[in-house]
């Protein structure tokens, strides 16, 4: 894969992360079901909607998700609690310290992507991490090459 293709792929993944986080306000034009509704700024509602989507797409039942959360968070999570946390009409919220367990149980990164996107960032996968490392190494090599050229120039000036 060429460098241009890799950069294009990163852009596509970033766009997908923004969409999955519910930040893309033109979802309706693209025929997608938006988690984010135009004009809505309440993060807690977007978190609830994202979590509902996670459950809808999850291969596990609500009961199994509650059991998995119970096991990972170290306290009882009932189906009633889960339903209350996800209902827009209720004031209950999914505790932020449960997000890692939620991601592991549901297999979805949507909540994490939403929260990271709210911070103005996006998640990178292993390939993107490796590409960033390659870029860092290239910059270091260019700096080393420039330093070498500078030293060579000084040496030649003294000879």
Please give the Cα distance from 109 to 86 (Å, whole number). 17
Please give the Cα distance from 78 to 70 (Å, whole number). 8
Asked if 95 and 136 sit in the same domain, the reply is no
Asked if 74 and 143 sit in the same domain, the reply is no
Asked if 22 and 115 count as a contact pair (C-beta separation under 8 A), the reply is: no
Q: What is the pLDDT of residue 114?
A: 87
Tell me which residue range forms the domain holding 139.
Answer: 124-159
Asked if 72 and 26 sit in the same domain, the reply is yes
Q: What is the pLDDT of residues 96-114, one digit of tens each?
A: 999 999 999 999 988 888 8
The separation between the first and the last C-alpha atoms of the chain, rounded to the nearest angstrom, is 46
Asked if 124 and 112 count as a contact pair (C-beta separation under 8 A), the reply is: no
pTM of the model: 0.61
CA distances to 4, 23, 43, 122, 123 from 13, in Å: 14, 14, 22, 9, 9
Asked if 87 and 145 sit in the same domain, the reply is no
Q: What is the pLDDT of residues 117-129, one digit of tens each?
A: 887 777 888 888 8
Q: Residue 7 pLDDT > 70, yes or no? A: no
Considering its fold, how many domains does the chain have in total?
A: 2
Binned at pLDDT 50, 70 and 90, residue 36 comes out as: very low
Asked if 44 and 105 sit in the same domain, the reply is yes
């Amino acid at each position: 894969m060429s460098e241009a293709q890799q950069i294009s792929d990163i852009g596509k993944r970033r766009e997908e992360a923004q969409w999955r986080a519910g930040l893309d306000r033109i979802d309706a034009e693209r025929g997608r079901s938006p988690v984010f509704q135009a004009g809505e700024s309440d993060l807690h509602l977007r978190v609830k909607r994202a979590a509902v989507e996670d459950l809808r797409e999850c291969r596990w039942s609500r009961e199994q998700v509650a059991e998995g959360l119970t096991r990972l968070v170290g306290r009882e999570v009932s189906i009633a609690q889960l339903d209350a946390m996800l209902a827009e009409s209720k004031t209950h919220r999914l505790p932020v310290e449960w997000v890692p367990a939620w991601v592991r149980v549901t297999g979805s990164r949507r909540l994490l992507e939403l929260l990271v996107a709210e911070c103005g960032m996006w998640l990178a996968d292993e390939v993107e991490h490796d590409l960033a490392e390659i870029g860092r190494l290239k910059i270091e090599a260019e700096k080393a090459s420039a330093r070498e050229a500078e030293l060579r120039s000084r040496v030649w000036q003294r000879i």
